[in-house]
Structures are given as structure tokens and as C-alpha cells.
Amino acid sequence: MAVKNYVLVCGGSACESAKGNDIYKSLLHQAEVQGVSNDLQIVKTGCFGFCEKGPIVKVLPDEAFYVEVKPEDAEDIISENIVKGRMVDRLLYKEEGKKEYKPENIKFYQKQKRIVLRNCGLIDPESIDEYIARDGYLGLEKALFELTPQQILDELKKSGLRGRGGAGFPTGLKWSFTQRIDADQKYVVCNADEGDPGAYMDRATLEGDPHSVIEAMIIAGKCVGADKGAIYIRAEYPLAIKRLEIAMDQARERGLLGDNILGTDFSFDLEIRLGAGAFVCGEETALLASIEGKRGMPIPKPPFPAAKGLFGKPTVINNVETYANIPVIISKGGDWFARYGTEGSKGTKVFALTGKIKNSGLIEVPMGTTLREIVFDIGGGIPNGKKFKAVQTGGPSGGVLTEDFLDTPIDFDSLISVGSMMGSGGMIVMDEDDCMVDVAKFYLDFCVEESCGKCAPCRIGTKKLYEILSKISQGKGEIEDLQKMKDMGQAMKKASLCGLGQTAPNPVLSVLNAFEEEVLEHINDGKCRAGKCKDLVQYSIDESKCIGCTVCARKCPVNCISGDRKVAHVIDQSRCVKCGACYDSCKFGAVLVS
């Protein structure tokens, strides 16, 4: 009997951790109980992207988009939507202020274009058949039977694809370097060591569509003449690893991976290498060293991995998102891909949109989309009526961009021209409650931990910058500190060995540039306008506003707020740890920060 409905359950890490698997099982159970098992197919898919509202369940062909679903909602979904053909209104996503649900009106998706994430949220990532049904491995077939290596390179060059790991190097050019070298052994490596704080583009791609990366790597092997490949993935991504392993096994069973692929004389196989969570191993030379079993430290380039990479052999290395683009570029052609994006940056870019934003989640937009569109149209703006302050792109390597730059189109060159960078796709939005000294400190703290310690400017500079920022956040900053940070920042930018050190001062330098006034307030007035720098703030309770609801007293982790019910409360300043829990929990604006 033909299946009437598809029920898609998000199986991304975020939704899984919010009982996604229980929802899936409940749906199966309910379908069984209600006797409709044969009428539907329940599929656990990859990430839908709209993580803010997860767990998400989608029912096709009705296009019912259910958000914040709980396992106990399964009964209604089956009984109403499947059995009776009526959408479950209470679970449907509705735009703010709207009472009606219209699938085409979900603003979160309206400006998105899914190329990389084309299968995420649509297919079962553990089923190669579903991947193939969506034209999967068509690109490989074309690469094996129709195209010469040069023609593959030509398509890539036509597509204008640039590396999505952050640096934006033209992928076709990179491959061509390896392709034209004569060597007894070449390798294809996938950098899945995603490490920017808040970024999860690659994880979602691998969890939702592992075959897209595998297919691309086989195509790369065919193109450059490599027969071995490795996916270097951080061990903290167990679900992605599991799905990759399943996908690799399936590909081997189907003769798509291993010896004599699809009956040709081309052989290629892959293995997974686990990273131990060092951010620097996302730097390609450090990553290769780590695969070789060495300490993950970058080495100076040139030679580039394209010429001398893994075990000294020519190596193609790209990140997950770059690879995920390639099967469709090959199957649909470079020209098709080049229709999207801007002159210098073709295609789309996936971002992990987080921070002070209503619709946090994973988004994919055509290059050239402006920051404003992302923050306010897709992201839905800033929650709780707060004011937008800045957006950080490029993670610990990027910079903060103020409102003045909101109309900057997202592409590799524009972002650099305004003092930030594309990076791998982390995008964090800040509002007026965020202190920019604190933001800079956060990123430096990350780099202090993650610098490999090899070159002097990065090893020592990150630590020194952090120390100075700490001092400033404690109100102990001196005016000379600004110059010290600029000097050090320059030394790090210019003289560090690898990208980590060269970009590590960017968050600080961009804060000094865009928010100098706020930094000076910390130094000169001992004031943190956002109330984030604990040493500079004091929390107190406005007697006139406090209604004595006791929420703050209950939230206070050190029990330093006292007061009877319905009587204004008081904070014991000597014990307050300035965590801000009272401020955040008060619904009456009675907690003051000064």
C-alpha cells in the first residue's frame, strides 16, 4: 500500500537532546496503536535549522510544521493529522502576532537557500537509498563516467566555489595544485574539526547528510588521483561519527567506496580519525600532524598541503561545508551554482545564528544577503525588546560589527573590508546587555586555552591580552593598556605562525575600534554600562518596584536576598557574587544595576 504521509522528526543533536528520539519512538508507537503504520513513514532526519523552536516534527505532504514538540504530543499528531487529516493547531509554528499558520510564511526560511543543507530535514541520514533518491551519487557517477579530471576542475572553477573553512581559497584552484603533481600517493582529507564557539554547521551537515561529504571526497579522489581519504572529526560529535560510519558502510556495500568503484578501475576508501578537541587542529597543517599521530601544531606554509600534506604527500583538504557543495556542483554544473551569490563569492553560506536573537538556529543564505536580513528577517530581531548592539562573525578570528555595518552583504571580501571575516560560519548577536570588554575577553579566553603554544606572539600574546582585558573589566585598567593591546595585537596579526594567532587579536582590536568609548568607560570611570563586569557593578532592589514575589530570592545561588513575601526585598552586598540571576529573573524591573 502506498504511503500517504511522511512524518519527519528532527534527529539533529539539539533536538535529540530534547527528547527527539523519544518523540520518534512515540510516533512509531502511536502509529502502531492507532493502526496507521502502513499509511505513513516516520523518518528521523537531519537538522531543520530552526533550533530555537526544536524539537521539530514536519508532516508531509501537508507541510505541517510542528515546533517544541514533546513525546506526549505524538498521540495528537497521529490521531489528528494522520488519521483525521487535520493539523494540530497548538503545535504549529506561528509568526509573532499571527494566529494562522502558513507554511510559505515562515520568515525564518523565506530568505534562505538550501544547497549545502539540501537534504537536511528531508531524508533519513542513515539511509543511502533516500540520499540516492534525492540525486545522491549522481555527481560521482558523472565524475566517473563522463568527466575527465580536468573537466571536474573546470566545473569547480566555473562554480566559483571558495573554501568554507574561513579563508575562502578557490577550491578548484586548490584541487588543481594537487591534481597536477606526480606522486605515488595522494590523499583527500576532510576537516570536520569544527571548533568555533557556538558553531555547528558542519556537525549538522554530517548528522543530516553524511553521504554528501563522502560523495564529494570520492569525486576529489577521482579528480586528483588519490585512493585514500580521511575524515578528521572531533570526538565530541558522536552522532555525526555514527552516521558517517553507517554511511561509509552503506557506500562500501553499494560499491561506491572501496576497490573498483562502480566497476571502474578507480578505487578509493575512507577512514575516520578522531580529534581530541584541540581548536588548533582545525588549522590544516596541525590537523594533518594530528592524523599522523603527532602533536597537533601548525607548521609554516609553504609548502602547502596541496603539494606536501599528509605524510608528506600531496593532499586535498577541505572542510565539511565545502565538500557538501560539490556533488551538486558536479551533477548540476558549475554554472548552476554560480547563479547564487555575488561576483566574488558564489553559492550560499551556512551560519549558526546564536546569541541575543529570537530565531536562533542553523541558516543557509545566498552570499550577498545582508547582515540586517539575517538578524532581523531570518533571525526575527532581538528578543525582549532589547536593542541590537553588535554581531560577531568569524568566531574567535573575526570581529564585532555595529549597527553601522548591518547593510554589509555577506561575502568573503566585504566582511574583511569592514574589519571582520566570514570565518567558518559562527554568528553571534549581541544586545545592549552585552559588555564589549566582556565579549572580547570571552574570545581571548577561548584562544588562551586553544593556542597550541608553538609561536611566541600567539602563545604569550593571547595570555597577555586576556590579562589586560581582565584588568580592565575589574576597573584596574590604565590608559596605556590600549596602546599595549594595539602593539601586541599588531605583533600577533603580523608575526604569528598560523591563522589562529594571526586572527586571535581581531575580536579585541575590533572592539577597541568600534567600542573604544565603552572600553574607556571601564578604565576611566570604572563603569560597565552593560552591567556584565562583576567587579564594576552592584545589584540593588528598587523598593518602589519590588512586589515581594520572592522569585529573585529563590534564584539567588548564595541566598543573599532576603525579604518577606509581598515586602520589598534587600540584597546583602557583602555576600552578593554578582551573578545577575536576580536581574534576569525579575519580571518587574525592580533589580537595578549600577
Partner 1 sequence: MNSVNIRINGKDIICPEGANVMHVAIENGFDIPNLCYDQRLSPTGACRLCIVEMEGRPGVHTSCTMKAGEGLSIVTESDKLSALRKSTLELIFSEHKATCTSCDREGACSLQDYAYRYGAAEDRYPSIVKGGHSDNYTEGGIAIGYDVEKCIRCMRCVKICEEVQGAEAITLDGRSGNVVVNTPFSMLLTDSSCEMCGQCVDTCPTGALYAKAAKGKGRVRTMKKVRTTCLYCGVGCQLDLNIGADGKLVKVTSEPGVIPNDGNTCVKGRFGFDFIHRDERLTMPLIREGDAFREASWDEALDLVATRFSGIKEKNGSEALAGLTSAKSGNEDNYIMQKFVRTQFGNNNIDHCARLCHASTVAGLARAFGSGAMTNSIDEFSDTPLIFVIGSNTTENHPVMGIKIRKAVAEGKTKLLVADPRKISLTDIAHMHLQQKPGSDVALINAMMYTIIDEKLHDRDFIKSRTEDYERMEAAVMKCPPEFAEKVSGVPAEDIRAAARLYAAAESASIVYSMGITQHTTGTDNVLSLANMAMLTGNVGKPFAGVNPLRGQNNVQGACDMGGLPDVYPGYQKVHLPEAKAKFEKAWGVPLSDKPGLTVNEIMHGVGSGKIKGLYVFGENPVLSDPDTNEVVKSLKKADFLVVQDIFLTETAELADVVLPARSFAERDGTFTNTERRVQMYREAVAAPGESKPDWEIITGVANRMGADWNYNSASEIMDEIAAVTPIYGGISYERITDVGLQWPCPDKEHKGTAVLHQGKFSRGLGKFHPVDYLPQQELPDEDYPLILTTGRMLQHWHTGTMTRKSEVLHGIVPEGHIQISPADAGRLGIVSEDMVKVSTRRGEIRIAADVTDRMKEGVVFLTFHFKESPANALTIAALDPIAKIPEFKACAVKVEKY
Interface with partner 1 (CB under 8 A)? 278, 280, 295, 297, 299-300, 302, 447-464, 467, 484, 487-488, 490-491, 494-497
Q: Could you write out the three-class secondary structure of 411-434?
A: CHHHHHHCCCCCCCCEEEEEECCC
Shortest Å, Cβ 166 to partner 1 = 18
Region of 32 please: left (phi>0), alpha (psi -120 to 50) or beta. alpha
Distance CA(12)–CA(352), nearest Å, equals 13
Shortest Å, Cβ 493 to partner 1 = 9
Shortest Å, Cβ 294 to partner 1 = 10
User: Smaller CB distance to partner 1: residue 63 or 467?
Assistant: 467
Shortest Å, Cβ 277 to partner 1 = 11
Burial class (CB within 10 angstroms; exposed 0-12, middle 13-18, buried 19+) of 177? middle
Shortest Å, Cβ 288 to partner 1 = 15
Q: Could you write out the three-class secondary structure of 280-311?
A: HHHCHHHHHHHHCCCCCCCCCCCCCCCCCCHH
Q: Which amino acid, 484?
A: K
Distance CA(8)–CA(167), nearest Å, equals 35
Distance CA(119)–CA(164), nearest Å, equals 18
Shortest Å, Cβ 164 to partner 1 = 24
Shortest Å, Cβ 500 to partner 1 = 10
User: Smaller CB distance to partner 1: residue 114 or 464?
Assistant: 464
User: Smaller CB distance to partner 1: residue 239 or 495?
Assistant: 495
User: Smaller CB distance to partner 1: residue 490 or 540?
Assistant: 490
Shortest Å, Cβ 220 to partner 1 = 26
User: Smaller CB distance to partner 1: residue 405 or 443?
Assistant: 443
User: Smaller CB distance to partner 1: residue 10 or 488?
Assistant: 488
User: Smaller CB distance to partner 1: residue 359 or 462?
Assistant: 462
Q: Which three cell numbers stand for residue 506?
A: 581581531
Sheet with 40-45, edge to edge strand ranges: 40-45, 5-10, 57-60, 64-66
Q: Which three cell numbers stand for residue 271?
A: 577512514
User: Smaller CB distance to partner 1: residue 456 or 549?
Assistant: 456
Burial class (CB within 10 angstroms; exposed 0-12, middle 13-18, buried 19+) of 404? exposed
Residue of 222, 45, 226, 67 whose CA lies nearest to 143: 222
Shortest Å, Cβ 217 to partner 1 = 27
User: Smaller CB distance to partner 1: residue 125 or 461?
Assistant: 461
Shortest Å, Cβ 300 to partner 1 = 4
Q: Which residues pair with 258 in a beta bridge?
A: 268
Shortest Å, Cβ 216 to partner 1 = 31
Q: Which residues pair with 592 in a beta bridge?
A: 540
Shortest Å, Cβ 290 to partner 1 = 13
User: Smaller CB distance to partner 1: residue 480 or 535?
Assistant: 480
User: Smaller CB distance to partner 1: residue 102 or 484?
Assistant: 484
Angle at the Cα of 321 (from 316 to 323), degrees rounded to 5? Answer: 40
Q: Which residues pair with 232 in a beta bridge?
A: 191, 273
User: Smaller CB distance to partner 1: residue 82 or 468?
Assistant: 468
User: Smaller CB distance to partner 1: residue 97 or 300?
Assistant: 300
Q: Which residues are CB-neighbours of 113 under 8 A, at least 6 positions away?
A: 340, 348, 364, 365, 366
How many CA within 13 A on the CB side of residue 53?
21
Instruction: Find the radius of gyration of the CA atoms of the chain.
Output: 26
Shortest Å, Cβ 428 to partner 1 = 22
Distance CA(280)–CA(317), nearest Å, equals 15
Shortest Å, Cβ 487 to partner 1 = 5
The 3-state DSSP class for residue 594 equals coil
Shortest Å, Cβ 384 to partner 1 = 36
The 3-state DSSP class for residue 566 equals coil
Q: Which amino acid, 557?
A: P
Q: Which residues pair with 346 in a beta bridge?
A: 341
Q: Which residues pair with 272 in a beta bridge?
A: 231
User: Smaller CB distance to partner 1: residue 179 or 496?
Assistant: 496
How many CA within 13 A on the CB side of residue 40?
30
Each as own residue / partner, the long-range contacts of residues 579-587 (CB below 8 Å, 24 or more positions apart, any chain) are 579/534, 580/531, 580/532, 580/539, 581/552, 581/555, 581/556, 581/557, 582/539, 582/541, 582/552, 582/555, 582/556, 583/531, 583/539, 584/555, 585/551, 585/552, 585/555, 586/551, 586/552, 587/549, 587/551
User: Smaller CB distance to partner 1: residue 176 or 462?
Assistant: 462
Q: Which three cell numbers stand for residue 9?
A: 522528526
